[in-house]
Amino acid sequence: MTDVRKPRRRSATASRTNDPERTKANIIQVATEEFSEVGYSGARIDRIADRMHTSKRMIYYYFGSKEALYSAVLLEYYRKLRGAEADLQLDEKPPLEALKELVEFTFDYHAANADNVRLVMVENIHKGRHIKQMPSLEPINTAVIDMVGRICARGAESGVIRGDVKPWDIYTSIAALCFFNVSNRYTFSAIFNHDMISDEAATARRAEVVDMVIRYVKA
């Protein structure tokens, strides 16, 4: 009779030893879901461990504390967002086209990562307490302001963008318009009986946001 046995599950220790970076990435991914769903105060390390079918001890081995894990989640969110923006290679495109693409990307990114929008809202509830203690975030995030600045400078030089527009104002307006469409879509849909949830409504709103930004900056 053939001896058929189930494959043995790799232990958390083995996973940690063989591929620690992948293990840390998996923890951050699951922790992002937990913090987004129930906030910082409501999140529990034991629930994160249960979702991963591992132990709390392994999570603490990598991150030391719940607060350190939460900070790692925030750092990863901004690193992914800014990395995706950099991948657009907007410095190589005509100014107005580059700005249009940035708006479209920002709108789509927030819509596709609604859980992460809640994560940012959680940190705002805490008045940015954790982000203030993360100086490494500043150079990561200022990169997008620098990128918008270069687009504006090229646009002003070629006469297609007003010379008095400020990169900070432009990007904060883009972020606000795109973020709001996800963060408030359920309440506004109910309060005003206006569809903000369907794909059709999102597509229309996306075009409106692009139009508003381009009209504002055009010379």
Q: Which two tokens mark 114?
A: 């609604």
Measured CA to CA, the distance from residue 172 to residue 96 in angstroms comes to 17
pTM over 0.75: yes
According to DSSP, the residues that pair with 161 across neighbouring strands are 218
Q: Give the mean pLDDT per block of 10 residues along the chain (219 residues).
A: 42 57 94 94 95 93 95 95 96 97 97 90 92 91 96 97 97 95 93 93 96 97
Residue 136 confidence (pLDDT): 87
Classify 94 in phi/psi space as left (phi over 0), alpha (psi -120 to 50) or beta: beta
Single-letter code of the amino acid located at 209: V
CA pseudo-torsion sign 153, 169, 101, 124: positive
Residue 120 confidence (pLDDT): 92
Do residues 47 and 34 lie in contact, with contact meaning Cβ atoms separated by under 8 Å?
Answer: yes
Taken as a whole, the chain contains a residue count of 219
Helix (H) or strand (E) holding 137: helix 137-158
Classify 54 in phi/psi space as left (phi over 0), alpha (psi -120 to 50) or beta: beta
Which residue stretches of 9-94 are H helix? 12-18, 20-42, 45-52, 56-63, 66-86
Residue 5 confidence (pLDDT): 43
Q: For residue 210, what are the contacts with CB-CB under 8 A and spacing of at least 6?
A: 100, 103, 104, 107
- Residue matched to tokens 């009779």: 1
Residue 17 confidence (pLDDT): 53
